[in-house]
Amino acid sequence: MHEFCFTQVDGGERNWQPAWARVRERVGALEAQGTSLWGAFSGLLGIPSSEFVLMTQNGSGSARPDEALAGCRIVCQYDLVATVRPSTPAPPLRRPGLYVFRFFDVATADIDEVAKLSREAWTTFEATDAYAAEPQGLFAPRDRTSSDGRMLLLTWYDGFASWETSRQPAPAARENFLRRHQLTRGTIAYATRLMEGV
């Protein structure tokens, strides 16, 4: 099973750039151990200026990037597996825009249903000229032994205007999103941009 890891990192300085430069130099050592950088993101809304997000992946073991984070503080970290997206370990889109991470607190027993509803909703959610949006990944906890789970959705938008317009998707997508909402105990979202040098 291909594993992913979401890590929110605090570099310990006012801005994230110095810590990201140090971490980027250590990415090669991670890759030698089978862990690769899937994406790195700086915050726009909801993430302090000293912090950034790493998404890493590994095809044969833990995807945690901890060895590359010397001198940094791990704010939070989640071990994940992909559900309906991504279907391959290829990194997300490499284009400008808004990358929104959205966490869903759900019952572990409902994870597969949430993934199914999302996949069905995306068939009409993405097929529109009203806005530009593309879900990049919907991830579930690697460990499902707890009754509670936290899923993660990463969606690309071309900007905040598309994000706002997409809050009113096509009726078919809206119906699936409402059913998904009924299975969700709470959500939190962070707006980010893809960092250069990934």
Give the CATH number for residue 129: 3.30.70.100
Say how many domains are in the chain.
1
pLDDT score for 140 = 98
Predicted pLDDT of residue 198: 57
Q: What is the pLDDT of residue 197?
A: 58
CA 157 to CA 194: how far, in whole Å? 12
Instruction: Compute the C-alpha angle 103/109/112, nearest 5°.
Output: 70
| pLDDT score, position 15 | 96
pTM exceeding the 0.75 threshold for the entire prediction: yes
- Residue 107 belongs to domain spanning: 3-194
Whole-number Å distance between alpha carbons of 98 and 52: 14
Residues (pLDDT < 50) of the chain are none
Beta-strand (E) ranges in 86-147? Answer: 98-107, 133-141
Indicate the pairing of strand 51-58 with strand 98-107: unpaired
Which pLDDT belongs to residue 95?
87
Q: Tell me whether strands 73-85 and 3-10 are parallel, antiparallel or unpaired.
A: antiparallel
